[in-house]
Amino acid sequence: MTKVGIAGFGTIGAAVARHLREGRNGMELVAVTSGTRAKAEAKLAQLDIEVPVVAAVQLADMAEIIVECAPTGAFMEIVVPALERGRQIVTVSAAALIENMAVIDIARSTGGRVIMATGALLGLDAVRAAAVSEIFSVTMITRKPPKSLLGAPEVVRQDIDLMKLTEPTLLFDGSARDGARGFPANVNVAAALALAGIGPDRTRLQIWADPSLERNTHFITVDADSARFELKIENIPSVEKPGTGRITALSMIAALDGLTAPLRVGS
């Protein structure tokens, strides 16, 4: 059995744990790490899963694959020791990754690997294929219900009362890199798009708070020498964390299963 650890035990981590509880594809959950041990232990008990809650360094020693779904601030604490031990990391934290690309050098030197799950974004295979040749431009317009953007650093900086908005309001217009800094918990999709395509500085991003919406919506346009295509996705927010779409946890599970499945569809 392949030993799997989960770093971060919120909405996504719990969904992955429920999946691993069934022992699918020869994978076994061996431990989790969390910034709130008591809550993690209570959630494990609720799920009827008996594994320890350990520190990030211990998790790196125990697990061959680590599912990273922790808050952005814990990214390096989790990823560095795991990659130093040559582990595989499955993550959706693209916003944290583009600010800490030095971890790829660690992976290269130890044989470790960082696997970016597609998260809430469709079409990354097409973007990656286009990037093999030349992409001229990539733009992404994200529209979210105001509650999905509560607490974002850029919202706090602008001192916007999101819950009093009565019409769509543009919160950000710039590069994916700057957008990831201003909305680290909200634009992993844009950061993943940037990593798949022309990078975080050339990828253009708009972020809107739209009180008329109930779903997190992303509209992407890619113009390349091989194709021009448009992508649109409307993600249903999770109940526990509206800023995270329900499909994000499913994407994490699909990426994890793909590591051992005899058939893998998509590049």
Question: Which residues are known catalytic residues?
Answer: 218
Give binding residues as ranges: 120, 188
Asked if 82 contacts 113 with a C-beta cutoff of 8 angstroms, the reply is no
Q: Which residues are annotated as a binding site for NAD(+)?
A: 120, 188
- The C-alpha atoms of residue 11 and residue 43 are separated, in whole angstroms, by 11
Q: Are the C-beta atoms of 98 and 200 separated by less than 8 Å?
A: yes
Distance CA 94, CA 180 (A): 9
Contact 243, 186 (CB under 8 A): yes
**Residues 181, 198: Cα–Cα separation, whole Å:** 18
Neighbour count for residue 17 (Cβ, 10 Å): 21
Q: Sign of the C-alpha dihedral, residues 114, 116, 117, 119?
A: positive
Q: How far apart are CA 117 and CA 105, in angstroms?
A: 20
Closest by alpha carbon to 244, among 71, 67, 19?
71
